[in-house]
Amino acid sequence: MLLARLADVSEQVAATSARSRKIAVLADLFSATPPAEVPLVIAYLAGRLPQGRVGIGWNILREPVAPAGRATLTVADTDAALTALAGVAGPGSQTGRRRLVHDLMAAATAPEQRFLVRLLTGEVRQGALDAIALEGVARAAHAPAADVRRAVMLDGSLPRVATALLAEGPPALERFRLRVGTPVQPMLAHTAKSVADALAALGPCAVEEKLDGVRIQVHRTGDDVRIYTRSLDEITDRLPEAAAVARGLAGDAFVLDGEVIALDASGRPVPFQETASRVGSRLDVAAAAAARPVSPVFFDVLAADGAVLLDLPGRERHAELARLVPEPLRVRRAVVTDPADPARRDEAEAFFADALARGHEGVVVKALDAPYGAGRRGRSWLKVKPVHTLDLVVLAAEWGHGRRTGLLSNLHLGARAADGTFVMLGKTFKGLTDAMLGWQTDRLRELAVSDDGLTVRVRPELVVEIAYDGLQRSPRYPAGVALRFARVLRHRPDKPAAQADTVETVLAGPQSRVV
């Protein structure tokens, strides 16, 4: 397949907000895609490089290269070029990368060059996410989207399922089943504003502590234990404590869903970044485990004694979990059988407050009658966390792509420093409606002091109200921290920059625990 076809589809998908139109365009593309190239097409549409990082920055990409006059570059050619780029290392690597990028760009037409730049810089933001690509694949193969979705949930790989489906047709889906030892995409939670809202939405439910740990999925058959991350990477060798716990459980042929969490000397959870660093450590695991031990805590079971439990209601799955896993290894929970009862609501609120007091993120409220929606952000699980806001100043903004082309989108956010300057704390393009994007583009153009074609630097005058989940360590920013999951709530043109929050306020605020 020519890369030009893929670049054109990317532009079409980016140009429409209609989900049905996106799916139709992708279905046409997948119908014309050779099955062997399906994984590459899906990856590129989602803005992912199978090679990971290839060491290319704007200093190379901004160098002009005359585009090709006609489209001859294929998806396979592009993959080969990126693989070569990823393999460049050692003395002279920068020169080697520059030459390879020049050759790739010279083989590309102007539209292909634009797509490649976005792909290499992680700026493919067109809404062609896996959920939409999945439906495009289903339509192209004339298969029910629900069946394709379940196959992907159980296999963990849309490219693998799509390749088989487009090559063999709908009967290929029969081979994708839950198997102990093969990771399954985890169920995810939507967000509720409050415990009361979650109870009202779900009815009879369980309120569970939301741990700030690392999600794990534990598979065991006999003495063979496999542990996977949320992204389905195997990390068994990095978590000997969790593997030992799994081998010590009474059951067999099971799949458990949970987290690993590290506690300090007082029994409170350590910052997430410390837990993630421990889990990510590949060197001297024994020493890392001794210095920072972690404990598994489980909250769901997907299979037990070889039986698949995904379709059982939550209350029955938890009964199986309680049979397999002793209470100290299960997440703390409170069952609310009648959310309309004020006393039960008060108990749920008290549980939420206690979870926060114990140092946890909040709670997850789970419907007692819901099945396990592997790979889905289902509305039968609702997470509730305290919402914290800051008033920060826009220091710069980046030009958008796709539907946001021609609009200033990604905001650089700063807090006031003691000397009157502003200290950058991160970026966000989330939370912005079309109306907000239009208004802020006009306003920031008025405040612009420079524009390099990518980023517009502005006078620090526009204040925005930002919601965020916490802070994380970041050597990229002067204060040593960055905002976690920042999103724009509203612009505050009524508020002068002198009244924006200070760095001291950020570091001392209710979300000041750095992770």
Binding-site members are 208, 215, 230, 259, 299, 377, 383
List the catalytic residue out of 22, 210, 366, 427.
Answer: 210
From first CA to last CA, the distance across the chain in angstroms is 44
Instruction: List own/partner pairs for 138-142 with CB under 8 A and 24 or more apart.
Output: 138/165, 139/23, 139/24, 139/27, 140/26, 140/27, 140/28, 140/29, 140/30, 140/31, 140/166, 141/30, 141/165, 141/166, 141/169, 141/170, 142/169, 142/170
Q: Give φ, ψ of 242 to 5 degrees.
A: -65, -40
d(CA 256, CA 246): 9
Cα dihedral value 439, 445, 446, 448, nearest 10:
140
Query: Are 457 and 449 a contacting pair, CB within 8 Å?
Result: yes
Binding residues for ATP: 208, 215, 230, 259, 299, 377, 383
Q: Say how far apart CA 466 and CA 170 lie, in whole Å.
A: 46
Place of tokens 């999600």: 215
How many whole angstroms separate alpha carbon 76 and alpha carbon 33?
12
- Among residues 73, 72, 6, which one has the least CA distance to residue 33? 6
Q: For residue 142, with 0-12 CB atoms within 10 Å meaning exposed, 13-18 middle and 19 or more buried, which class applies? A: exposed
Distance of CA 45 to the CA centre of its chain: 16
Tell me 401's DSSP state: -
Q: For 256-289, give the DSSP string.
A: EEEEEE-B-TTSPBPPHHHHHHHHH--S-HHHHH
Beta bridge partners of 399: 408
Instruction: Answer yes or no: 427 catalytic.
Output: no
Residue 311: HSE in the Cβ half-sphere, 13 Å Cα cutoff: 5
Strand partners, 256: 218, 301
Reference 507, options 482, 475, 477; nearest CA is: 482
Measure the CA–CA gap between 42 and 107, rounded to whole angstroms: 22
Enzyme catalytic residues: 210
